[in-house]
Amino acid sequence: MTIFDEAIRLAISAHSGQTRKTDKTPYILHPMEVACIASSVSDDLDLLTAAVLHDAVEDTAVSVDEIAAKFGDRVAQIVATETEDKQDGRPPEETWKARKEDSLQRLKNCDDRLVKILWLADKLANLRSLHRALVKDGEAAWGYFHQSDPKEHYWYYRSVADLLKSDLGGSPAWDELDALVERVFAGRI
């Protein structure tokens, strides 16, 4: 069994019972989609393993140390670089902007292509989900998030796409992210 197979098992267990905010589907579908998108850019096994585990530290009881012990330091480092600091003790609505600014700063300072591919895959999967929610539920979909202002989401997704462009621009996944940022937020900003 590969580390990727083991990562799928851990992710299924860790995310058991969780659902996505936008469509209430089983949460595990998101990390699997992220791994699929990442695989369209790279076949690196550490990257694909990290993609499946990318939300485990942020949204479950799994720790970076546990990931390192089971999957190696490289996988743990990729996951950790994309994991937001939840700033426990404060409501997520109050910390949304600070968390996004911190994340963008880490991405800006990152020179690791695999981390950038994970960011691309995660944000593209999130934006696809947001687009589907807006088609299905209209403007009420913004109420699913800790930040309900579309202008703030546009700022964040546009910033991510722009930061990834120099390394990943021209890849089909980046092209889709770039186009979807404009389509989702057209008329909303």
Q: Indicate which residues carry an active-site annotation.
A: 58-59
Q: Which three-class secondary structure state does DSSP give residue 111?
A: coil
Q: Contact at 8 Å (CB) between 92 and 109? A: no
Asked if 35 and 51 touch (Cβ cutoff 8 Å), the reply is yes
The tokens describing 2, both together, are 């590969």
CA 12 to CA 28: how far, in whole Å?
6
Q: φ, ψ for residue 180 (rounded to 5)?
A: -70, -35
Label residues 123-157 b or e (16+ Cβ within 10 Å = b): bbbbbbbbeebbeeeeeebbebbebeebebbbbbb
54 Cβ contact partners less than 8 Å away, ≥ 6 residues apart: 31, 34, 78, 79, 82, 83, 118, 122
β-sheet bridge partners, residue 2: none
